[in-house]
Chains A and B, each alone.
Chain A
C-alpha cells in the first residue's frame, strides 16, 4: 500500500545519506583496522600478514585488564559528577528567556573554542604545588595540598573537559518538557525535589543517557589528562591504545585493544538503550 511505500521512501531519504557516509568513512576504515587484529606486528613495526590469534590472548594480561577496570571506574566517577554538575545547569538554561538561552548555551562551549591542551595546562597552573590555589591557601597559612598528579586531578580534568558534552544533550532533552507537568506535580503536593525525581528526571532520561554516554566514552579513552594531570602515574585505556600505536608501533595489538574497548562500550550502549526504553 502507498502508506508503507511512503514510509519506505522516508526511511531511504532520511537514513541513506548518513548511513552511506558512515559506511564509507567509518565502517570500511574500521574494518581495515579490525582486520589487523588477526595479524602480527613486523619486527620493526608495520604489519606482517600472517594469521594469528595471539593478540586476543594478550588481552588477558592482568595488566591490561586492570587498566580497563581502573578506566571504567574513573570514567564512571567522572560521568556521575558531570551529571550532577551539568543537570542543574542545563535545567536552568532551558528555563531562561529565549535570548539568554542561546547565550548561556554558547557560553558553555565557548571556553572550548581555545585549545584542549592549554585548558588542561591552566588546570596545572591552578592545582600545582606552587600553583594558584596553594598560593591562596598559603596566605592563610594553610597547605600546600597535593592537588595534582592523582586520580582526583584526573577526574577534575575530565569533568572539566567533557562537561559541555553533558550539558548540551541534557539541555536538548529538558527544553522540550512541558512546564505544566511540573506545575501539576507541585499542585499534587510534590516538593521541588520530588517533582524533579518523579517527573523531570524520568522525562529527560534520554538526554541523561546521551549525556552520560558522551562523557563516559571520551573519559574512558582519554590519555592526555592522565598524563598531564595524573602525572602518568595512573594510566587509562586510552594511554594503552596510544602506546601500542605510537610507542610500540604495534597496530595489530593496538587494534585488538581498540576492539575490546569498543566491545565494552557497546555493552554499555546496549544497557543504556535498554534502560532508556524501560523508562
Chain B
C-alpha cells in the first residue's frame, strides 16, 4: 500500500529520514539496540553476539548487518542512529567514529574533515548532484 503523503526528503543524498515507514521496518532492530542500555545485556551480547541476536525477532539481514557493524545497512533496514549508537557504545566507539564509518572515509580523514569545517552543503543538497558525479 502506498502513502499519498509528501516525502520531500527522499531527494536528499546519503540521508535516510527515520519516518513511520522506517520505524516499522526497524522496530525490533532498534528495540534490540535499546536493550544494550543495560550493562548486563551488553555483557551477554559481547559474550555471544549471535545467540543474543537470536533472542530478537529481527530479520536475518538485520542480524548480519549488526554482526558486520555495517551501520549504513542497518539504517537501510530501519535502524535509527540514536538506537544504533548503543551498539557503538557497547564497542567503546565514539559518535564521531560511528558517523565516520558510514562515509567511506577513514577515521582520520573524517576527523580532519570535521576540524576543517565539516562537509560542505555545496553539491550535497540533492540526489541528482550525487548522480552527476
* B is a partner of A: no
